[in-house]
């Protein structure tokens, strides 16, 4: 029965490295500081009522954004540490163990705990407002998704100081990630935290698909829907069909590790290749899950700041949907070198090249949206314009990698590293930063500072080229990824040095970005009109930030770019608009249960990490009880009375 009792491994608290001691001290200090501030200013009740129990998509969006920026910082620090270790050959800045942990957490955090919450922040702030809805289809579930993500991220990051971080790469291939070669709890942290956040992601996918399909304002047919919402629909479909594969892969590997099964072990007929297939059946669609919303943002931003309709709307929709279908039949290109027959490799090679076709079409459509427009070079537009050359080159190297026999020479080399950073940073990160600057006034009611924003943009963008172009060359010189050190005689030294310098410049760019946020909280220009960019879609018809019910009256849509059209109609006629009388608004009630249930998930996950089954099963029971209580709850919604709506609207200056 000893396994049912808490058993503390010798390395429960990670020790032995100055970096880790520093982190431990700063975590304790930060926690104490936060607790003190909340208590001193009597903010506990405010925190609980306004944030921890909220089901409002706009507040959930804010929380996703803050979490994404924090995780961007953590993943970015990992990147700086790695690049510092590689600045010269034979550096002893990091030991192999630390380097391995750091590239593992860098990849995992950047994809699952930075990119995913960042896109969800954008989903949440923009989709309901763009389609004229008062919230998402399932607001309570939306809160569950956020808190599952939040506690999963907490669990994952906890591994840094408790038990040790995972170190088998973000792909976590067995048998390296199996018990034979990895006894420590780090790998369990990886498996359980991804499992928990994965549940949240699937729920978000379902939620936004339902929202977009069922909750559009009257008159907003699918083909009148803003392209960002289209991209969210495509991304949600991908989430729903791809994440279950990850769930299965992680669950089977966890069963291998906890219960000694042999799905993916080397011995007893286990088959590690099956994990690799399952992982990438999720993993490839995953990169489109995080890139398609960025495409949507670029479509909005380019059209708004060119003062022009998006070019080739139908083709843009067709290419989004084509990409989401093709992306399911590409996964084998992550392992052309695993020895599948030439027929299989040929199929996946050509399919991979085919995804370049709709993507190329989108690039040309963005270009021709700007053509004969009036281009305002605001910060969101700068990110969108800079995206085009980076993504064109990143896409091109993607097509090069797709040629299977050529891939035999690029695979797992720095050429590959440069490629996927180019598409993921140039695509997703640039897209999310464009979206952040674009929708920031809608989220917070004030603008981010343009001047600091430009500095951040130029530093980050130029640092990007300096960091990643040398890595293409390093790959062609034979340097493979995940090497914590390299010999001095291969001719790799100069290029590695340059790459590290570029990474530092990107790091400075990120710091300036944070400075911009901090500066603007105090000094940012207030957005009193609700339409600071002369926008085209419905979110700009609302005050910034929007009232909690979004629309006092649900608008009726008669065309694409609904807000643009209605602004033009108003400028043409002076006749006073006829307003429908206000109706009471049906809204969901706040609930603390998503927070509590996710906290129980966290406790159970933590228990299973250390094989404390009693705690694990107790927590599972707690989760089931939470769900049961929710099912028995009937008082979940209320009506906002007309007087309250009138008062709110009047206070916002809208009659």
Partner 1 sequence: MDKTTYRKRSRTRKLGITAGLSLLTTGCGERYLVFRPVGPVGQVEKDLIILSIILVLAVIIPVILLLWRIVWRYRDVPGNPAPYDPEWSESHVLEVIWWGIPIVIVGVLGAFTVRDTFLLTKPPERTAAPLTVQVTSLNWKWLFQYPDQKIATVNYCEIPTNRPIQFILSANGPMNSFWVPQLGGQEYAMPGMAMRLWLQADRSGVYYGHGANFTGRGFAHMAFNVIARPRAEFDGWVQQVRHSAPVLTRVGYQSLVQSSIVEPMTFSAYAPGIFESALLKEGGMYMKRDLTMLGRSHGH
- Which residues between 450 and 479 bind partner 1 (CB under 8 A)? 473, 475-478
Residue 32 or 96 with smaller CB distance to partner 1: 96
Question: CA–CA separation, 68 vs 76, rounded Å?
Answer: 12
* Residues in CB range of 123: below 8 A, 6 or more apart: 61, 204, 208, 232, 235, 293
**Could you tell me the smallest distance in angstroms from the CB atom of residue 294 to partner 1?**
17
Q: How far is CA 270 from the centre of its chain?
A: 33
Residue 217 or 340 with smaller CB distance to partner 1: 340
**65 within 8 A of 58, measured Cβ to Cβ:** no
**Could you tell me the smallest distance in angstroms from the CB atom of residue 282 to partner 1?**
19
Binding to partner 1 (CB under 8 A) within 523-582 occurs at none
**Could you tell me the smallest distance in angstroms from the CB atom of residue 90 to partner 1?**
10
Maximum Cα interatomic distance, the chain, rounded to a whole number of Å? 81
**147 within 8 A of 592, measured Cβ to Cβ:** no
Among 10, 18, 42, 341, binds partner 1 (CB under 8 A): 341
Among 67, 220, 363, 417, binds partner 1 (CB under 8 A): 363
Among 360, 445, 555, 622, binds partner 1 (CB under 8 A): 360
Residue 181 or 638 with smaller CB distance to partner 1: 181
Q: Alpha-carbon torsion 533, 536, 541, 543, what sign? A: negative
DSSP string, 513-564: HHHHHHHHHHHPPB--SS-TT---SGGGGS-SSPPTTS-SS-----SSSHHH
**615 within 8 A of 3, measured Cβ to Cβ:** no
Residue 516 or 561 with smaller CB distance to partner 1: 561
Residue 335 or 602 with smaller CB distance to partner 1: 335
**82 within 8 A of 99, measured Cβ to Cβ:** yes
Q: Which stretch binds partner 1 (CB under 8 A): 116-124, 161-169, 503-511, 550-558?
A: 161-169
Among 184, 244, 312, 445, binds partner 1 (CB under 8 A): 312
Q: Which stretch binds partner 1 (CB under 8 A): 171-179, 229-237, 252-260, 590-598?
A: 171-179
Among 393, 417, 418, 447, binds partner 1 (CB under 8 A): 393
Strand-pair partners of 586: 639
**Could you tell me the smallest distance in angstroms from the CB atom of residue 513 to partner 1?**
23
Q: Which stretch binds partner 1 (CB under 8 A): 23-31, 368-376, 425-433, 515-523?
A: 368-376
Q: Is 297 exposed, middle or buried (0-12, 13-18, 19+ CB in 10 A)?
A: buried
Among 123, 280, 288, 311, binds partner 1 (CB under 8 A): 311
Among 364, 627, 639, 653, binds partner 1 (CB under 8 A): 364
Residue 239 or 253 with smaller CB distance to partner 1: 253
Helix (H) or strand (E) holding 164: none
Q: Which stretch binds partner 1 (CB under 8 A): 387-395, 500-508, 513-521, 641-649?
A: 387-395
Per-position x/- string for 27-46, each x denoting binding to partner 1 as judged by CB under 8 A, each - no binding = --------------------
Binding to partner 1 (CB under 8 A) within 253-272 occurs at 266-272
**Could you tell me the smallest distance in angstroms from the CB atom of residue 305 to partner 1?**
8
Angle at 194 between CA 188 and CA 199, to 5 degrees: 130
Q: Which stretch binds partner 1 (CB under 8 A): 153-161, 222-230, 288-296, 394-402?
A: 394-402
Residue 133 or 557 with smaller CB distance to partner 1: 557
Strands 585-588 and 637-640: antiparallel
Q: In this structure, what are the phi and psi dihedrals at residue 199, rounded to the nearest 5 degrees?
A: -60, -45
Among 168, 220, 443, 585, binds partner 1 (CB under 8 A): 168
Per-position x/- string for 589-628, each x denoting binding to partner 1 as judged by CB under 8 A, each - no binding = ----------------------------------------
Q: Is 268 exposed, middle or buried (0-12, 13-18, 19+ CB in 10 A)?
A: exposed
**Per-residue tokens: 496:** 């590695």
Question: Integer distance in angstroms from the first to the last C-alpha of the chain?
Answer: 69
Q: Which stretch binds partner 1 (CB under 8 A): 18-26, 45-53, 186-194, 309-317?
A: 309-317
Q: Alpha-carbon torsion 555, 561, 565, 571, what sign? A: positive
Question: CA–CA separation, 142 vs 135, rounded Å?
Answer: 10
In the Cβ-directed half-sphere of 330, how many Cα atoms lie within 13 Å?
A: 27
Q: Which stretch binds partner 1 (CB under 8 A): 344-352, 445-453, 538-546, 594-602?
A: 344-352
* Residues in CB range of 526: below 8 A, 6 or more apart: 445, 446, 447
Residue 415 or 510 with smaller CB distance to partner 1: 415
For the beta carbon of residue 45, count every other beta carbon within 10 angstroms.
9
Angle between helical axes of 414-423 and 379-402 (0-180°, round to 10): 140
DSSP string, 445-503: SBPPPHHHHHHHHHHHHHHHHHHHHHHHHHHHTTPBTT-S---GGGS-HHHHHHHHHHH
Binding to partner 1 (CB under 8 A) within 474-513 occurs at 475-478, 480-487, 490-491
Binding to partner 1 (CB under 8 A) within 400-419 occurs at 400, 402-413
For the beta carbon of residue 633, count every other beta carbon within 10 angstroms.
12
Count residues binding partner 1 (CB under 8 A).
93
Residue 134 or 411 with smaller CB distance to partner 1: 411
Among 55, 232, 326, 349, binds partner 1 (CB under 8 A): 349
Binding to partner 1 (CB under 8 A) within 179-218 occurs at 181
Interface with partner 1, residue 306, by CB under 8 A: yes
Residue 235 or 369 with smaller CB distance to partner 1: 369
Residue 98 or 134 with smaller CB distance to partner 1: 98
**605 within 8 A of 196, measured Cβ to Cβ:** yes
Binding to partner 1 (CB under 8 A) within 107-126 occurs at none
**Could you tell me the smallest distance in angstroms from the CB atom of residue 341 to partner 1?**
8
Residue 286 or 407 with smaller CB distance to partner 1: 407
In the Cβ-directed half-sphere of 351, how many Cα atoms lie within 13 Å?
A: 21
Binding to partner 1 (CB under 8 A) within 88-107 occurs at 96-97, 100
Residue 80 or 403 with smaller CB distance to partner 1: 403
**Per-residue tokens: 644:** 């309250």
Residue 453 or 594 with smaller CB distance to partner 1: 453
Residue 402 or 429 with smaller CB distance to partner 1: 402
For the beta carbon of residue 621, count every other beta carbon within 10 angstroms.
12
Question: CA–CA separation, 255 vs 266, rounded Å?
Answer: 15
Among 11, 337, 534, 648, binds partner 1 (CB under 8 A): 337
């Amino acid at each position: 029965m000893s396994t049912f009792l808490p058993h503390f491994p010798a390395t429960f608290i990670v020790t032995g490295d100055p970096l880790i001691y520093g982190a431990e001290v700063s975590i304790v200090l930060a926690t104490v500081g936060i607790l003190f501030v909340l208590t001193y200013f009597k903010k506990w009740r405010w925190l609980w009522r306004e944030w921890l129990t909220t089901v409002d998509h706009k507040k959930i969006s804010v929380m996703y954004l803050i979490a994404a920026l924090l995780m961007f910082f953590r993943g970015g620090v990992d990147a700086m540490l790695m690049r510092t270790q590689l600045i010269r050959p034979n550096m002893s800045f990091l030991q192999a163990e630390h380097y391995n942990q750091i590239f593992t957490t860098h990849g995992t955090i950047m994809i699952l705990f930075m990119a995913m919450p960042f896109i969800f922040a954008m989903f949440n702030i923009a989709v309901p407002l763009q389609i004229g809805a008062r919230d998402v289809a399932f607001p309570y579930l939306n809160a569950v998704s956020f808190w599952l993500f939040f506690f999963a991220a907490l669990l994952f990051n906890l591994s840094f100081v408790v038990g040790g971080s995972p170190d088998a790469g973000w792909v976590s291939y067995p048998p390296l990630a199996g018990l034979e070669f990895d006894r420590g709890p780090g790998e369990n942290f990886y498996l359980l935290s991804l499992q928990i956040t994965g549940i949240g992601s699937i729920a978000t996918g379902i939620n936004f698909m339902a929202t977009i399909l069922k909750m559009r304002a009257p008159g907003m047919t699918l083909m009148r829907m803003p392209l960002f919402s289209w991209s969210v629909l495509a991304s949600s479909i991908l989430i729903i069909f791809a994440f279950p594969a990850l769930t299965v892969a992680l669950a089977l590997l966890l069963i291998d590790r906890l219960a000694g099964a042999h799905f993916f072990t080397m011995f007893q007929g286990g088959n590690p290749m099956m994990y690799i297939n399952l992982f990438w059946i999720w993993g490839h669609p995953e990169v489109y899950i995080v890139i398609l919303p960025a495409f949507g943002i670029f479509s909005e931003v380019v059209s708004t700041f060119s003062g022009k309709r998006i070019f080739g709307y139908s083709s843009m929709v067709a290419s989004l949907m084509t990409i989401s279908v093709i992306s399911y039949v590409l996964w084998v290109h992550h392992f052309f070198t695993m020895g599948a027959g030439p027929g299989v490799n040929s199929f996946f090679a050509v399919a991979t090249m085919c995804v370049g076709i709709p993507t190329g079409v989108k690039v040309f459509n963005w270009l021709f949206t700007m053509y004969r427009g009036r281009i305002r070079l605001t910060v969101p537009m700068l990110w969108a314009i800079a995206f085009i050359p980076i993504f064109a080159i990143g896409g091109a190297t993607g097509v090069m990698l797709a040629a299977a026999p050529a891939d035999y020479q690029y695979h797992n080399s720095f050429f590959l590293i440069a490629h996927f950073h180019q598409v993921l940073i140039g695509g997703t990160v640039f897209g999310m930063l464009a979206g952040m600057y674009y929708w920031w006034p809608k989220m917070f009611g004030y603008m981010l500072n343009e001047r600091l924003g430009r500095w951040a943009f130029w530093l980050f963008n130029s640092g990007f080229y300096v960091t990643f172009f040398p890595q293409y060359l390093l790959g062609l010189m034979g340097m493979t990824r995940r090497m914590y050190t390299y010999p001095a005689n291969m001719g790799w030294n100069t290029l590695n040095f340059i790459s590290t310098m570029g990474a530092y410049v990107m790091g400075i760019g990120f710091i300036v970005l944070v400075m911009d946020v901090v500066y603007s909280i105090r000094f940012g220009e207030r957005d009193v009109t609700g339409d600071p960019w002369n926008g085209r879609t419905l979110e700009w018809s609302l005050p910034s930030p929007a009232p909690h019910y979004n629309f006092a009256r649900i608008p009726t849509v008669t065309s694409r770019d609904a807000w643009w059209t209605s602004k033009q109609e108003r400028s043409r006629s002076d006749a006073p608009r006829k307003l429908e009388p206000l109706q009471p608004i049906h809204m969901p009630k706040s609930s603390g249960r998503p927070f509590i249930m996710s906290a129980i998930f966290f406790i159970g996950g933590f228990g299973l990490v250390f094989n404390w089954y009693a705690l694990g099963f107790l927590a599972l029971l707690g989760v089931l009880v939470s769900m049961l209580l929710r099912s028995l709850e009937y008082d979940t919604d209320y009506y906002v009375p007309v007087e309250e709506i009138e008062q709110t609207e009047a206070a916002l200056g809208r009659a």
